[in-house]
């Protein structure tokens, strides 16, 4: 992710479902270890990823992170 950001990745680009990178990373919380998921989300936030961007049929990244999180630990 860091390399993509350094090369100027468009944080506002949307995939075929209308999601930007931040909601996609939030949904990936259940497919990777917690440290990696948090590190990727932090990188995207620090780079200016739009926090309130939502897909066509789902909520913003915070909602998705809560939905897809494998744990309730903070």
Residues 6+ apart with CB under 8 A from 5: 43, 44, 47
Q: Record the tokens describing residue 3, joined without a space.
A: 């390399």
- pLDDT tens-digit profile of 32-70? 777 888 899 899 999 998 887 766 667 777 767 777 776
The CA-based angle 41-31-2, given to 5 degrees, is 35
* Burial (CB count <10 Å: 0-12, 13-18, 19+), residue 48: exposed
pTM of the complete model:
0.75
Distance CA(73)–CA(43), nearest Å, equals 21
Domains of the chain, each with CATH number or no CATH:
2-68 (1.25.40.20)
């Amino acid at each position: 992710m860091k390399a993509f950001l350094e090369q100027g990745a468009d944080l506002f680009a949307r995939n075929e479902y209308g999601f930007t990178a931040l909601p996609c990373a939030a949904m990936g919380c259940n497919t990777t270890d917690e440290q990696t998921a948090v590190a990727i989300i932090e990188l995207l936030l620090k780079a200016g990823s739009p926090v309130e961007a939502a897909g066509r049929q789902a909520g913003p990244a915070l909602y998705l992170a809560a939905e897809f999180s494998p744990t309730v630990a903070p």
